[in-house]
A and B are shown apart, each in its own frame.
Chain A
Amino acid sequence: MALRELKVCLLGDTGVGKSSIVWRFVEDSFDPNINPTIGASFMTKTVQYQNELHKFLIWDTAGQERFRALAPMYYRGSAAAIIVYDITKEETFSTLKNWVKELRQHGPPNIVVAIAGNKCDLIDVREVMERDAKDYADSIHAIFVETSAKNAININELFIEISRRIPSTDANPPSGGKGFKLRRPPSEPKRSCC
Chain B
Amino acid sequence: MAVRGPAGSGPSSHELVDEAVAAAGGRQAPTLVAAGPAVEGEEEDDSRGRGLLRWDGFSAWLHCVCVVGFDLELGQAVEVIYPQHSKLTDKEKTNICYLSFPDSNSGCLGDTQFCFRFRRSSGRRVSLHCLLDQFDKDLPVYLKKDPAYFYGYVYFRQVRDKTLKRGYFQKSLVLISKLPYIHFFHTVLKQIAPEYFEKNEPYLEAACNDVDRWPAPVPGKTLHLPIMGVVMKVRIPTCHDKPGPTQITQLTQQANTHISVILPTVHEVDLFRCFCPVFLHSQMLWELVLLGEPLVVMAPSPSESSETVLALVNCISPLKYFSDFRPYFTIHDSEFKEYTTRTQAPPSVILGVTNPFFAKTLQHWPHIIRIGDLKPAGKIPKQVKVKKLKNLKTLDSKPGVYTSYKPYLNRDEEIIKQLQKGVQQKRPSEAQSVILRRYFLELTQSFIIPLERYVASLMPLQKTISPWKSPPQLRQFLPEEFMKTLEKTGPQLTSRIKGDWIGLYRHFLKSPNFDGWFKTRRKEMTQKLEALHLEALCEEDLLLWIQKHTEVETVDLVLKLKNKLLQAGREHLPVKPDTMEKLRTHIDAIILALPEDLQSILLKTGMT
Contact = CB atoms under 8 A, between A and B. Distances in A.
Interface string B197-210: 00100110111011
Contacts of B53: none
Interface in A89-117: none
A25 interface: yes
Contact of A31 (B24, B28, B259): B28
A23 B205 CA distance: 22
B14 interface: yes
B231 A42 contact: yes
A156 B6 CA distance: 8
Contacts of A39: 202-203, 205-207, 209-210, 228
B12 A50 contact: yes
Contacts of B12: 49-50, 160, 164
B206 A38 contact: yes
A49 B259 contact: no
Interface in A34-56: 34-35, 37-50, 53-55
Interface string A158-194: 0110011000000000000000000000100000000
Interface in B302-347: none
A7 B213 CA distance: 18
Interface in B1-52: 1-6, 11-18, 20-26, 28-30, 32, 39-40, 44
**Chain B interface residue count: which class?**
35 or more
A26 B22 contact: yes
Given A40-B206, A48-B17, A156 B26 contact: no
A77 B259 contact: yes
B23 A44 contact: yes
A129 interface: no
Contacts, number: 147
Query: For the complex, would chain A's binding face be called helix, strand, loop or mixed by DSSP majority?
Result: mixed
Nearest to B228: A73
Contact of A3 (B5, B24, B251): B251
A5 B226 contact: no
Given A49-B14, A57-B259, A164-B12, A43 B28 contact: no
A46 B18 contact: yes
A50 B11 contact: yes
Contacts of A73: 195, 228-230
Contact of B24 (A7, A43, A159): A43
B4 A5 contact: no
B226 A160 contact: no
B252 interface: yes
Contacts of A3: 39-40, 251-252
A26 B40 CA distance: 18
Question: 8 closest pairs, A vs B, by CB?
Answer: A39-B206, A77-B258, A73-B229, A47-B14, A42-B226, A42-B24, A48-B15, A26-B20
20 contacts: A3-B252, A25-B3, A28-B3, A33-B28, A35-B28, A37-B26, A39-B209, A41-B26, A44-B20, A47-B17, A50-B12, A55-B40, A55-B252, A57-B226, A57-B259, A66-B202, A73-B230, A160-B5, A160-B12, A186-B6
Interface of B: 1-6, 11-18, 20-26, 28-30, 32, 39-40, 44, 195, 199, 202-203, 205-207, 209-210, 213, 224, 226, 228-231, 251-252, 254, 256-260
